[in-house]
A and B are shown apart, each in its own frame.
Chain A
Amino acid sequence: MSARVAVMVFPGTNSEEETQRACLAAGLEAELVHWSWALDRARAFDAYVLPGGFAYEDRVRAGAIAAHDRLMQPVREAAAAGKPVLGICNGAQILLEAGLVPALDGATDRPQAAFARNAPLGKYRSTHVYVKLALPPEASALTAGFEAHAVLPAWASHGEGRLAAADAVLERLEREARLAFVYCDANGNVSPAVVPNGSALGAAGLINGPGNVLALMPHAERDAWTYMHGGAAREAARGDAAAMLAPSGGIALFRGLARALGAGR
């Protein structure tokens, strides 16, 4: 059985094709849904993925304008109905600005946290990273097929990826299990040295209470095949086309989405 996934495209989104490709490789039917679509047509999906980029040029703040775009109405409805919603990078920023994550007291239209300007230098950074599942896998339908403490490779590629929130909110994120992924090294070790942006709690991803809305800053879809990988596996695959085109660890995120929808391979 397949499932239909909407890959949302706002003006300025730039990672929709690789995100769609990763969804397709995971066995999902993935369609690009542009901002001009009629809302009824945009509602006819089983899940929603908000890809990376610079929606509306990040005007006002990263994700702030897109969070109030009319196309977010089907996303809000889907989140409320328990359908999977995944935001990657700019998509993650949009979900936080929209109040859909962490939604500590349920969904709201006001942000409770933000992925703010990187620290310490405040500059854009592109670097290969690893993230570790910080929740019990069963806490979210999206990660239910993961092993405990699963480590995924990805590419951090952002200027605003530092989790920022009031101390009381940060404390609740930990206590109420909203911290979905933290930065780590290839072996799953967590330390400040592996956090590329000064993110509070070492956070790479947050989730809502029911576990169906996940906001992840690094791009797992950019490490979905070995030729994209930033670690040793790509070097080992040199000269071997089949190995180079083999799936890499980032594809697990999209297989998790497929599993949540009872679809995929």
Chain B
Amino acid sequence: MIRCVEITLSIPDNEAETAAETLARLGLPGTALVRGDLYRLDVEAAGEGPDLLDALRRIEPLFNPNKHVLRERGTQPEAGEVWIHEIAHGAAPADGPVRIAGRTLPGVRRIERFTVWRLGDAAGAPAADDIVVRATETLLCNPAFQVATTR
């Protein structure tokens, strides 16, 4: 079973703000951006319950209740979203396939980490697909070592 968990900041996100300003300079003004850390978890029976989210909330380097929101979400990109994933190119990922912030999680067979960028327009609606593609190609993804996935 695949479960996806997204962690976003509940306080202002300087990185998303800078990215939005840069996109405006690159010809995409008015793009609202939300950035999140997304974990795609391949779980067995022991990882299918709510305990998994509690376990994630207890990993302090990952989640601080004073400034983060953690939620389970759909397993595919939604409208306005791009998911960025690093290509290993033979290099082992920092956390390995079953560790997250140096820890293992009960019932989790494999973890993949993504950065999710959620693009919206001034009215709060998801950005159009062509805007997402342009933002991805001009700034959000370096195809030399990253893969971008949209819906």
Interface residues on A, range: 20 to 34
Q: Which of A57, A110, A122 contacts B93 (CB 8 A)?
A: A122
Question: Which residue in chain A gives the minimum CB-CB distance to B26?
Answer: A68
Interface residues on B, range: 20 to 34
Shortest Cβ distance from B112 into chain A, in angstroms? Answer: 15
Asked whether, in the complex, the Cβ of B142 is within 8 Å of the Cβ of A114, the reply is yes
Answer whether residue B75 sits at the interface, using C-beta atoms and an 8 A cutoff.
Answer: no
Query: How far does the alpha carbon of A122 sit from the alpha carbon of B91 in the complex, in Å?
Result: 8
Once A60-B139, A64-B139, A68-B139 are accepted as A-B contacts, the answer to whether A117 and B92 lie under 8 Å apart by CB is no
Dominant SS among interface residues on chain A: loop
Across-interface contacts of A116 in B (CB, < 8 A): 86, 89, 91, 144-145
Answer whether residue B140 sits at the interface, using C-beta atoms and an 8 A cutoff.
Answer: yes
**Binary contact track B115-146/A, C-beta < 8 Å → 1, others 0:** 00000000000000000000001111011111
Query: How far does the alpha carbon of A59 sit from the alpha carbon of B115 in the complex, in Å?
Result: 12
Residue numbers of A with Cβ under 8 A of B are 56-57, 59-61, 64-65, 68, 70, 96-97, 109-114, 116-123, 162, 164-166, 169, 198, 200
Q: Can you report 27 residue pairs joining A to B where beta carbons are below 8 Å apart?
A: A60-B15, A60-B18, A60-B139, A64-B142, A70-B25, A97-B142, A110-B137, A110-B138, A111-B143, A111-B144, A112-B144, A114-B142, A114-B144, A116-B89, A116-B144, A117-B86, A117-B91, A117-B94, A119-B92, A122-B94, A122-B95, A123-B94, A162-B91, A164-B87, A164-B91, A164-B144, A165-B144
Task: List 10 tightest A-B contacts by C-beta distance, closest first.
Answer: A122-B94, A119-B91, A164-B145, A59-B15, A114-B144, A116-B145, A165-B144, A59-B18, A113-B144, A164-B89
